[in-house]
Structure 1
Amino acid sequence: MNQSLKAMIDASRDVHIPIPIDESETAEARLLKKPVLKNRLLDDMESLDHWQLITSYSISVPEPLADPNDLSDREEITPAPTMELSSERCVCGSHSLKFTHPTNLDHQIECRKGRIYAQPSVKRVFDREDWSEFNRLSVWIYPIAPGMKSITLRMQLHNDGVRKMPEKWERDGAHNMSLKANQWNHAVLEMPYLDRDCVTGVSFDYDMVGHENDAVDHVTWYIDKLELQTVKCDVYEGWIPADDRISYSHKGYQPGSDKLAIASGIDADTFKLIETKTGKVVLEKEILTVDAKIGTLQMMDFTELCEEGEYILVAGNLSTRVFAISEDVWESSVWKVLNFFLVLRCGYEVPGKHRACHSDMLMVHDGKAIVANGGWHDAADLAQGFINTAEATAALFSLAGALKKDGSNNRLFLRVLEEAKWGLDYVLKMRFPGGYRATYSSSSIWTDGVIGTSDDITMEPSRSALANFDAAYAELLGYELFKDIDPDYAAYALKIAKDDFYWGVDITCEKQKENESQTGEDRKIVEAMFEDGISVDVKIISAGVLASSLLFTATQEASYVQAAEEFSDLLLTCQQQEFTDWDVPMVGFFYEDTNRDLIAHYNHMAYSYMPELALKTLCETFPDSDRYMKWYSALTLSGAYYKKIASYTSPYGVIPAGVYHEDEAKNMPEKVFATHPMVGAECTDGYAPQVREGFPLGKGYYLRVYPVWFSFRGNYNVILSATKAMTSVASYCNDYDLYVASQHNYEWILGKNPMAQSTMVGEGYDFIQHYTVQPGQTTGSITVGMESHYEKDVPYWPQVNTATYKEVWVCSATKWMWCMADSLLPARLSGYLRVIPGGVLTCTNVVSQKAYTVVPHVRTGYYELTLPAGTYRMQYESEEKTITVVSGKQYAIDGPLCDVSASAVRSGKDVTITINVTASYDLPVTIRTDNISGLESSYTVSVENGKGTLVLHAVLENEQKPFVGLVLPNGNLDERVAFTDDRI
């Protein structure tokens, strides 16, 4: 841990006090320093002639307030904003515009209860002006809002030209500004991407969501010097970085991963890496020009540099900031995302952010009520999504488990465990008997905390198989970690997990097949619940696998083995295991359900990690199952799919959203649009044009980098869900290439993107404001993610700050932490070797040639070694072994060392397998395969002069499906060596 990170953790008391933001590192600070090339003063606030005072509702007011002309009906609930010229404070001239309005209403509009219920605003009107020659708006704002910890005002551009603004989905022109109280804020908005050919106004809008009890009930804004400007704008769209910036991972790179930086327009042939500690040039290499699928780019590859340290990259007249090459390069992000979780806690006082909140939010069922605060707020609003909190709890417990097993960072382990318990407490309480659980509370408002007043928010629970399975999985992870710390708490978590799993199965049965003949304990764990032709959602199946597998681990009850196996059979039917007949054959992806008529892809909420996490859990829990190779093969095929689609965005390598068919919305609109919030079949005509912007694969299929989407946009939950799938496969299958591919996604989020901006606040630099209405700008926040503009399929990250793509979401932070459970820590190698006095075990990286050494214990031969990801040659006296390791995994290698490699060649249906051995003895091996036959289960490789070769002949069972096999030296599954079909 470096000293700056340690100081930050100490100052925040292990992130129990929110971590401040270094304002000098924000993109806003840089934007304000840009030279203004041209300007036009729009209004100096010396007259109100062109200003309108507006009070608007988000939707039409229901009866009895339906008549907009009936002011007597509206007086009670209509805010009373005022607008006037003021000489109290100004930036230019002698006046500013003073805009004052309430922050709450006595009576919320019932059909908007819990959401934004009014939008008082002031609007500067323009007479259909063409602003095309200018590309930036500038304004000065002075807020007065005592007690308000987050102050936000929206600047909205209104355009009545070819493309109107605001438009249906409010995707453009709405710029939400986080402002500081009691001072002038200079806000600028670069807008080269906004339609401004027929401007009718600029408004300043406030979203009314109430206030905390100790805050004022009116806010005053002073607005001055509204101006048009022209500047050199940032890159906001496409794959090509600006010619004055280098795209790289701001925090740095793990030593064992690829290390790439990307640019365009550098006038130099070579680049240099300079070690900051010594000022020494440690590497000089050629700048490569890469003609990639996404365009022509300059690439600087310094993968071979594995020495830990801090560096600067210099190319021509450009240079990067300091970045690290370090195994713990992602640790600071974990602490900062923990900070984001702290700030999003519901029902908890977060210093400087909010009081303990929502004690009058209730879940009501059958005449009973539960106070529904706890867990984490969902997003920039104050909603609470149960699935999100359950997932976050599972993610944090997974990370805590990895930290506990590693044992090298107890401080972080304890803090992650504490945050996970905060989530588990909520998961355990939010339930009623019979499988009734919380799902979602629609809350964007601060409430008064008094049960029985008009702002109370109530929710009805529902019976959801996914909610119950997710709850059981989180509870079981908590059980495992707390059984030795707090046995009573752990026992309760296990009890509730059993009940939740039972109701998850019962609900699924109920939805699939009416069966009232069996009830209670006589009902099978998974009975004949899935009839032919009835679809079952792949995420529900996966969640069932996860819960049943962990229940077996906790209880050793055979009924859970049966459940896990039945669920796993269904899961495998959801995967494409045969090569498609497209121009670009694909294999390994999953369908949405057992009907296999729609490929799984996600547009905001994302569950793509679930099948792979489920398959990994099955392999770990039931290694002796006769289904094991089917699970392992499915993982291998999934890994091949992710590696293939990641290649389309090289050299960035950010993972695409997935495969779409151009006619899927036309053929099954109800199914397709079920995952698109706030839209339906009316968007069918707009679906195919988006699909066709992707990479063509043939037969009407396309690979989209960005999802097809309409209302909700932003893809970090999509990217990080896929990354969790990738790390699950990379970890279990020991797939180094997939490990590298997963690293590129973290690097993208932290700066190695075309905009060369970190997109996590407080990590790296040049981070832009996020849409954070209630929590305020927060260190460690992750947004919904980058979007694509309209039908395009290229990155789009403009300055304009609006929901949903720039909105902070707990689900994106959840996936970051879940990925870190696999990626945060280095690989650890340990075992027992024969005792040789003075013997030294040496592991030499085959790429960097860096050697890592350890002396085994003089009596036991035990050794431990930490290694960066990569392939190594192990040597211990005359014994040798080649191993590949990936970060976050622990390897047990005992002596005597023997080297085993396996390869396979296919000719039609004939498969020839060659096993090569370097050992000091005849080596017994066990063979496990999927989709090939004709082999025995075990063989012995004869060794002469330290070498041995065994050639086996087998038959491919299904020519359209890749085969996968494992060689187990001495029958040891932990040292398995894979061989696969050359088509993947």
Structure 2
Amino acid sequence: MATKIQREIAYSNWLHKPLKVDVSNSLELASQKKKIMHRTAILDSTTSADVWMHKGAGSFRMLANHTLELTSPSIMDRWPEGSPSDGDYSTYGPVAVFRAFDHVNWEDFNRISFEIYPDCPGMANPHIKVALRNDGKIKIPDVYNREGFNVINLKNREWNFCTMEIPDLPRDEITELKFLYDMYGKDRATGDNLTYMIKNVYVERVENPDISKGWQPRNIDLVFSHNGYHPDHPKTMILAESQESTFSVIEVDSGAEKFAGNVQPVTTTIGTFSIVDFSEFREIGKYTVKIGDLESKPFEIGSFADRWEDSIWKSLNFIFCERCGCPVHGIHGSCHEDILARHKDGMIIFNGGWHDAGDVSQQLVQTAEVACSLYEMANQVKDHNMPLYLRLIEEGEWGVDFILKTRFGDGYRATSAGIRIWSDGIIGNMDDMQARVHNNPYENFICSGIEAQIAMFMNEGDILKNKLISCAIQDFQYAVEQFEANGFASKPIFWEHTYMTSESLFMATASWAASLIYKMTGDEIYAHKAVNYLDYVVDSQERPGIRTDDGQVVTGFFYRNTTKQVVQHFNHQAREHMYMMAFSEILQSQPNHSKRASWLESVQDYGAYVKFLTAFTAPYPMISSGIYHVDEHKESESFELQHLLVGEEATERYTEQLKQGYRLNEEYYLKRFPVWFSFKGNTAIVLSTGKAASLAGLMLGDRELLVIAESQLQWMIGKNPFNQSLMYGEGYNFAQQYTVLSGEMVGEIPVGVQTFENEDIPYWPQMNSATYKEVWVGLAGKWLSLLADLYEQEKR
């Protein structure tokens, strides 16, 4: 009998139609069922209608039954004041209704609820933004305009009961509650007008609110990996604080107790917890864990494929739903046919590949990396799951087409566009946004490597194979020419996702690409370049080590360049894995080189560094962000590359954030989460570092590193303080994410867990906003790439 996911995949015509969204295990559904202790009306039949005011475009009126009605056109004939002339990264403006308050204290409440009816003909994802303003000790919104906003995705033409929990949001002096939406243009099916009706607005106190900040889970939660455990890997669950009890592992089908043990208290650098450890139990099957009246949801003990293959289908579904320029059933038509890239006398329509994020922007490198990961994953499943293999290859070809389409053939590429609307598809009018075009050595190095990698994954006879080989060689040469002429001076354009690339990461990428082209062609010139480029990377690594206050010596991490003044970090963007990819490819392609022992020593040192980082987040599996020097903010050029859209306040906050971390010695601190400001969320970081760990583990035959690699997936699927899955539709307690134009897509992954202000503890509010809750297609690529290594381990 087919499983539920197998039936859904079949109904999707093997993912040529989006998987159906099932909210039965969603966080929102669980929240709506909570017991209300008390509440106060903000809008119902007992309150005055006169206190509500309209702001922005459109119109507002109060209906007879104490229901607010907001209405507007779907599109305007002009951009909002201050927008670029072509509408780059603009909407058509907000439509809002709000109520002012005189510094009211809402700290006795932890939830807002309301009912809303969207009437938006042909709109795939009606949504409403709820905005709070607090003028108390901590101001909301914050200086970066990130806190206090919650975008809720809605079902069209029916009443939606919405709840939003705010247990940790500053609310001691509330001055405003606002409901608003932006006009995002018209897709093929969208009607001319949008209408939203809102009623029964309350602030409430509910029982057992979800936590949104800190390492301690709720005392009613048993934190575990929703996707289960490998038979030969550690198997633990986490409870709040110190408890003395016994636990039982129960087989789901029979109800039989299969294993029992004692709950063990443990104190780490982040607090005291109780641990359920059943690592000795290795029997494959489906189980729950029971501790007194507390029982986990079912989980599986089994192979990587048994436990993670459903997530591959779901990630593939997310990627498919993000297609640009291709109709996707129930989401959009053939879109963005008037986004233009111009170079010399030529012009490209810059659609294709996959939308970068919830805002439907486009980034060439993101699409290229995702395409490569699809082929990488396909290579791992082709011997045991042919339908999945074929569908991964098919989707990968969609990405390859975009890689080739955006080349002008002379080193210049169309690389990105900032898009937040459904444009009308008509070339020659006001919404024809311009894509960015440049000849940048980093983009050409990384694309040449990806072209070579995909070509080697392709079967002989594939008509794209020889074209990709040719392009890889050409693009590598374009990169070399620019690099030899200008060195590191040719920085990517500000909005490129490669903007923060350091010199050492640049050289790791160049070496990786050279090794791949050497494997592909056998031409020794690429072997020499791979070695020369990697020499720079090795010279940027901490090899002697730094000595901590407690006498440990920490080595293996990389600096941004050979001066070793600034440690290599990533915040919401991350390519940490590129260092290990460079070592992996050169060790494979030049196994007899005289520097082989030195390269392996670099990998061993890096692996030791990853192991060092994991100790500071135990008992959770999340890898810490890394080591920081106290004076890094004084290197202004590097600091500005790493941190976008910040002012002078960022240099002061840098020191504050370091001191919230863990002091290693007078000059170095360890941060569990990055130093970051406006752009926050660590999913890319944990997946990228997890990929680096898996590569190092495969190179060294180090089981511990491979366990660490898988544990990053476990962190994301439940084994976090919030007991939430961060992949929509996978595991339990998955929440809505910021995906305003497309709506919820099974398999979507957000930018990730953040921190509040300058703290160094996890912060994951239900408030649904960019950047941390925004879905990123590149994360699905990182997910698949890490899983591919785990599949490779199991083959060995």
Fold match by TM threshold 0.5: yes
CA distance in 1, matches of 2:640, 2:282: 47
Decide which of 76, 99, 102 is 1:124's aligned counterpart. 99
Decide which of 193, 206, 209 is 1:231's aligned counterpart. 206
CA distance in 1, matches of 2:168, 2:356: 30
Decide which of 564, 570, 580 is 2:536's aligned counterpart. 570
CA distance in 1, matches of 2:618, 2:54: 51
Q: Which residue of 1 aligns with 2:493?
A: none
Q: Which residue of 2 aligns with 1:383?
A: 361
Decide which of 766, 789, 795 is 2:756's aligned counterpart. 789
CA distance in 2, matches of 1:514, 1:161: 45
TM-score (norm 1): 0.77
Q: Which residue of 1 aligns with 2:192?
A: 217
Q: Is 1:776 matched up with 2:753?
A: no
Q: Is 1:604 matched up with 2:550?
A: no
Q: Which residue of 2 aligns with 1:474?
A: 450
The 3 A distance-change label for structure 1 pair 466 and 2 is farther
Is the 8 Å Cα contact of residues 242 and 272 (structure 2) preserved in structure 1? no
CA distance in 1, matches of 2:233, 2:771: 32
Q: Which residue of 2 aligns with 1:586?
A: 554
Decide which of 712, 725, 729 is 1:762's aligned counterpart. 729
Instruction: Specify the code of the residue in structure 1 equivalent to 2:514.
Output: S
CA distance in 1, matches of 2:91, 2:757: 26
Is the 8 Å Cα contact of residues 604 and 784 (structure 1) preserved in structure 2? yes
Is the 8 Å Cα contact of residues 113 and 203 (structure 2) preserved in structure 1? yes
Q: Which residue of 2 aligns with 1:549?
A: 515
Matches within 5 A, 1:222-261: 222-232=197-207, 233-261=209-237
Decide which of 386, 396, 402 is 2:374's aligned counterpart. 396
| Larger relative contact order (Cα-Cα within 8 Å, sequence gap ≥ 6) | 2
1:219 Cα offset (Å): 0.8
Instruction: Specify the code of the residue in structure 1 equivalent to 2:529.
Output: A
CA distance in 1, matches of 2:161, 2:132: 17
Is the 8 Å Cα contact of residues 125 and 156 (structure 2) preserved in structure 1? no
CA RMSD of aligned residues (A): 1.8
CA distance in 2, matches of 1:161, 1:296: 32
Instruction: Specify the code of the residue in structure 1 equivalent to 2:78.
Output: H
Matches within 5 A, 1:67-466: 79=57, 81-87=58-64, 94-109=65-80, 110-111=83-84, 112-232=87-207, 233-264=209-240, 269-327=245-303, 328=305, 329-404=307-382, 407-466=383-442
Once the two structures are overlaid, the 10-residue window that deviates more, 776-785 or 211-220, is: 211-220
SS of the aligned residue for 1:243 comes to: coil
Instruction: Specify the code of the residue in structure 1 equivalent to 2:665.
Output: G
Instruction: Specify the code of the residue in structure 1 equivalent to 2:311.
Output: S
SS of the aligned residue for 1:290 comes to: strand
Is the 8 Å Cα contact of residues 266 and 315 (structure 1) preserved in structure 2? no
Matches within 5 A, 1:905-984: none
Q: Which runs of no fewer than 5 residues in structure 1 stay unpaired?
A: 56-78, 88-93, 516-534, 828-886, 891-984
Q: Which residue of 2 aligns with 1:626?
A: 594
SS of the aligned residue for 1:457 comes to: coil
Larger strand proportion, structure 1 or 2?
1
Is the 8 Å Cα contact of residues 731 and 889 (structure 1) preserved in structure 2? no
1:483 Cα offset (Å): 4.1
CA distance in 2, matches of 1:82, 1:474: 50
Is the 8 Å Cα contact of residues 365 and 460 (structure 1) preserved in structure 2? no
The 3 A distance-change label for structure 1 pair 513 and 489 is closer
Q: Is 1:674 matched up with 2:674?
A: no
Is the 8 Å Cα contact of residues 78 and 92 (structure 2) preserved in structure 1? no
Task: String of CA shifts for 1:770-826, please: whole Å, max 9, x gaps.
Answer: 011112111101000001111111111111111110110112222111101101x2x
Q: Is 1:724 matched up with 2:702?
A: no
SS of the aligned residue for 1:251 comes to: coil
Decide which of 628, 631, 645 is 1:663's aligned counterpart. 631
CA distance in 1, matches of 2:715, 2:684: 13
CA distance in 2, matches of 1:378, 1:226: 35
1:36 Cα offset (Å): 0.4
The 3 A distance-change label for structure 1 pair 512 and 684 is same
Matches within 5 A, 1:503-518: 503-512=478-487
1:536 Cα offset (Å): 6.6
CA distance in 1, matches of 2:592, 2:2: 44
CA distance in 2, matches of 1:284, 1:194: 40
CA distance in 2, matches of 1:256, 1:166: 47
CA distance in 1, matches of 2:230, 2:461: 33
Task: String of CA shifts for 1:30-61, please: whole Å, max 9, x gaps.
Answer: 00110000111112167431111101xxxxxx
1:235 Cα offset (Å): 1.6
CA distance in 2, matches of 1:713, 1:586: 27
Matches within 5 A, 1:639-658: 639-658=607-626
Instruction: Specify the code of the residue in structure 1 equivalent to 2:508.
Output: S
SS of the aligned residue for 2:664 comes to: strand
Q: Is 1:53 matched up with 2:54?
A: yes
Once the two structures are overlaid, the 10-residue window that deviates more, 579-588 or 250-259, is: 579-588
Q: Which residue of 2 aligns with 1:698?
A: 665
CA distance in 2, matches of 1:165, 1:235: 19
Is the 8 Å Cα contact of residues 268 and 315 (structure 1) preserved in structure 2? no
Q: Percent identity, aligned pairs only?
A: 34
Instruction: Specify the code of the residue in structure 1 equivalent to 2:273.
Output: L
SS of the aligned residue for 1:432 comes to: coil
1:680 Cα offset (Å): 4.4
Is the 8 Å Cα contact of residues 243 and 274 (structure 2) preserved in structure 1? no
Task: String of CA shifts for 1:710-740, please: whole Å, max 9, x gaps.
Answer: 1111100111110110010011111011111
Instruction: Specify the code of the residue in structure 1 equivalent to 2:406.
Output: M
SS of the aligned residue for 1:156 comes to: strand
CA distance in 2, matches of 1:513, 1:417: 35
CA distance in 2, matches of 1:745, 1:481: 26
Q: Which residue of 1 aligns with 2:496?
A: none
Instruction: Specify the code of the residue in structure 2 equivalent to 1:366.
Output: K
CA distance in 2, matches of 1:559, 1:820: 33
CA distance in 2, matches of 1:591, 1:662: 14
TM-score (norm 2): 0.95
Instruction: Specify the code of the residue in structure 2 equivalent to 1:414.
Output: L
1:438 Cα offset (Å): 2.2
1:268 Cα offset (Å): 5.2
Is the 8 Å Cα contact of residues 127 and 199 (structure 1) preserved in structure 2? yes
Q: Which residue of 2 aligns with 1:14?
A: 14
CA distance in 2, matches of 1:364, 1:495: 23
Is the 8 Å Cα contact of residues 424 and 474 (structure 1) preserved in structure 2? no
Q: Which residue of 2 aligns with 1:978?
A: none
Task: String of CA shifts for 1:933-976, please: whole Å, max 9, x gaps.
Answer: xxxxxxxxxxxxxxxxxxxxxxxxxxxxxxxxxxxxxxxxxxxx
SS of the aligned residue for 2:24 comes to: helix
CA distance in 2, matches of 1:514, 1:167: 34
Q: Which residue of 1 aligns with 2:475?
A: 500
CA distance in 1, matches of 2:411, 2:648: 32
CA distance in 2, matches of 1:217, 1:621: 59
SS of the aligned residue for 1:298 comes to: strand
Q: Which residue of 2 aligns with 1:869?
A: none
CA distance in 1, matches of 2:636, 2:329: 47
Instruction: Specify the code of the residue in structure 1 equivalent to 2:760.
Output: D
Decide which of 494, 498, 504 is 1:538's aligned counterpart. 504
Instruction: Specify the code of the residue in structure 2 equivalent to 1:499.
Output: Q
CA distance in 1, matches of 2:232, 2:482: 46
1:575 Cα offset (Å): 1.1
Instruction: Specify the code of the residue in structure 1 equivalent to 2:51.
Output: H
Is the 8 Å Cα contact of residues 452 and 472 (structure 2) preserved in structure 1? yes
Q: Which residue of 2 aligns with 1:898?
A: none
SS of the aligned residue for 2:446 comes to: helix
Q: Which residue of 2 aligns with 1:879?
A: none
CA distance in 2, matches of 1:256, 1:514: 49
1:682 Cα offset (Å): 4.0
Is the 8 Å Cα contact of residues 267 and 316 (structure 1) preserved in structure 2? no
Instruction: Specify the code of the residue in structure 2 equivalent to 1:698.
Output: N
Whichever of the two has the greater Rg, that structure is 1
The 3 A distance-change label for structure 1 pair 8 and 304 is farther
